[in-house]
């Protein structure tokens, strides 16, 4: 057998293997795809799936990353905190979430530091959690 024919067979085998691997990899679950949960949004349905009493318990269980402390402010130099708003009223830091019953919440949304600072001011340089009791 010549080198050329051996090389040709190797190429054919590699192409056949690639087709089989691609066909197997493209098979997924049949049926409609469920949308992934948004990392910046917590819906009433997600919160009511378990029996949390207040917004803090729900957020700490479902989106704990929102509550993680960030580094110090660059200008002030002291540690900051994520700020909480309830229907456009500034409540304060994350502990104020303990005062908001889950039953009253339509949704909770996290705003990253840049977006929160642009929307509410420089004292929001660690982000903000917006709690709404109204449907959007």
Report the pLDDT value the prediction gives residue 60, as an integer from 0 to 100: 95
CA distance 71 to 110: 18
Report pLDDT for 50: 86
Q: Are 95 and 56 in contact (CB under 8 A)?
A: yes
Dist CA 12 CA 6 (whole Å): 10
The whole-angstrom separation of Cα 61 and Cα 129 is: 15
d(C-alpha 66, C-alpha 69), whole Å: 9
Can you give the pLDDT at residue 90? 96
List the chain pLDDT tens, one digit each, 136 residues. Answer: 666 667 667 776 766 666 655 555 544 444 444 455 789 999 999 988 888 899 999 999 999 999 987 666 656 556 689 999 999 899 999 999 999 999 999 999 999 999 999 999 988 989 999 999 987 6
Residues shown for the chain: 136
CA atoms within 13 A on the CB side of 123: 8
Cβ–Cβ contacts within 10 Å for residue 83, how many?
23
Delineate the domains of the chain, giving CATH numbers in brackets: 41-132 (2.170.130.10)
pLDDT reported for residue 33 = 46
pLDDT of residue 26: 46
**pLDDT score at 49:** 87
Quote the CA–CA distance of 69 and 91 in Å, as a whole number.
18
Q: What is the pLDDT of residue 123?
A: 87
């Amino acid at each position: 057998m010549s080198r050329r024919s051996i090389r040709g067979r190797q190429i054919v085998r590699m192409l056949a293997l690639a087709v089989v691997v691609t066909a197997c990899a493209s098979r997924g679950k049949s049926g409609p795809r469920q949308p992934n949960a948004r990392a910046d949004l917590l819906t009433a349905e997600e919160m009511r799936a378990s029996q949390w009493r207040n917004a803090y318990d729900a957020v700490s269980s479902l989106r704990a990353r929102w509550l993680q402390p960030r580094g110090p402010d660059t200008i002030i130099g002291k540690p900051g905190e994520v700020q909480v708003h309830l229907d456009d009223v500034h409540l304060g830091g994350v502990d104020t979430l303990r005062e908001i019953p889950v039953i009253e919440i339509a949704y909770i949304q996290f705003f990253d530091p840049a977006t929160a600072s642009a929307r509410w001011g420089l004292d929001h340089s660690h982000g903000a959690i917006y709690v709404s009791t109204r449907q959007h």
